[in-house]
Structure 1
Amino acid sequence: MSDGELETYSLVELAVDRLRRDILSGRTDPGERLVEEQLTRRLGISRAPLREAMRLLAEQGLIEHIPRRGARVATLSDDDMRELYEVRDVLERHAVTSTPAAPDLTRLRAALDTIRTATATDDRLELANAHRRFHVEVVALSGNRQLTALYESILVRIQLFMAVNMRREAETARAVDGVLRHERLFTAVETGATAEILEALGAHGARTYLT
């Protein structure tokens, strides 16, 4: 890869990171148009790396390309969300029942520490990402990499939907409640009791962010 290609690739990564943060933080709403001229000015890049970044985000389900209307932040219907939660639950149950005894919990413990830190600093985007990472690490304990990758892609799309509710939830729920929920789930995983793990996952419900 030439220096020019490396530079272009780094600009694509920059654009993906910035746009992804905007979308998943709720800074841009589902259905909001993404105007190339505005984005190239704000990001300080040309159209080529921006379009490649948007193509990659479309593959992740975060952006939609509408014929003759350009690109916009992806939207999800109530049916979409119901189906995503159903798929999430099926994958979680399979992963939990497939997890070997006494797995290495180092990465899961680190994810829980990140939740605590983000809660203490009131970093909402970091907290949302930490919640996702914690759940991914629970599933990763199964050792099935393909299942874990699919599961994470489902959670990213759920995070897109829940991003619009992040501010409202911050106003109506205690941040420490999220810490307590994930500490209970960690304890269940640590004890290795499958029924307790599934009960803890189910207790999250579907009403709050990445539940």
Structure 2
Amino acid sequence: MTAYSLVELAVDRLRRDILSGRNDPGERLVEEQLTKRLGISRAPLREAMRLLAEQGLVEHIPRRGARVATLSDDDVRELYEVRDVLERHAVTTTGEHRDLLRLRSALDTIRAATDAGDRPALADAHRRFHVEVVALSGNRQLTALYETILVRIQLYMAVNMRREAETARASDGVHRHERLFAAVERGDTAEILTALSAHGARTYLS
């Protein structure tokens, strides 16, 4: 395995752990533990951590090492405001001719991951579903920007998704996404925006 693929492996594994709530915001990421768990040396691990820092998922603290990134209450509020603006713009500029194949695939993955109890796969599927909703606008730059915002928000959503999994029925999350998909399928802009607003994103902050 090449050094580059080792970096990719580490980025993928650590990103999935962080975004699925396995690692909490502010939790230290200890090099020695991670090299053993991932089966790689320090060099590719450090490059992976650098890339994750660029994505806003890891922070490097002078003389203390790395940790899962943290966000202030203001950071989270502002990120949600940006998310709302991007979603609203995407939904209101989506044309009539929409290919829902990728969105339907994401919904199928949500169902499968829920049935399997696979939290990392479910977190990925949730994010992919919302990105695909925005991608229907046909604006690639908007979609890319939206995904970077969503990844940072998911740092905090992940913790509460884990709590929700302990207290709510697994099917609840599936039904929320099914309702949103149905609104998109009907092409009713007002209904889509209402579904997004009621989708439960902000409940992850409570």
Into which bin does the TM-score normalised by the smaller protein fall?
over 0.9
Hey, what's the Cα distance between the residues in 1 that align with 2:108 and 2:81? 28
1:120 lines up with 2:135 in the alignment: no
Q: Report 1:195-206 matches (<5 A).
A: 195-206=190-201
Q: In 2, are the aligned partners of 1:185 and 1:201 still within 8 Å (CA)?
A: yes
Choose from 153, 156, 163 the match for 1:158. Answer: 153
- What do the CA deviations read for 1:106-151 (whole angstroms, capped 9, x no partner)? 0011111111111222222211211111100000000111110111
* TM-score normalized with structure 2 length: 0.94
Residue 86 of structure 1 is matched in structure 2 by 81
Give the gaps of 5 or more residues in structure 1.
1-5
TM-superposed deviation, 1:180:
1.4
Residue 167 of structure 1 is matched in structure 2 by 162
Choose from 91, 96, 100 the match for 1:101. Answer: 96
* Count of residues in correspondence between the two structures: 205
What is the Cα-based RMSD across aligned positions, in Å?
1.6
Hey, what's the Cα distance between the residues in 1 that align with 2:180 and 2:82? 20
Q: Which deviates the most, 121-130 or 186-195?
A: 121-130
Q: In 2, are the aligned partners of 1:12 and 1:53 still within 8 Å (CA)?
A: yes
Q: In 1, are the aligned partners of 2:17 and 2:120 still within 8 Å (CA)?
A: no
Residue 19 of structure 2 is matched in structure 1 by 24
Q: SS at the partner of 2:142?
A: helix
Q: In 2, are the aligned partners of 1:169 and 1:208 still within 8 Å (CA)?
A: no
Give the gaps of 5 or more residues in structure 2.
none
The share of aligned pairs that are identical, in percent, is 85
Choose from 59, 62, 77 the match for 2:72. Answer: 77
Hey, what's the Cα distance between the residues in 1 that align with 2:203 and 2:124? 14
Residue 67 of structure 1 is matched in structure 2 by 62
Q: Which deviates the most, 40-49 or 88-97?
A: 40-49
Q: SS at the partner of 1:103?
A: coil
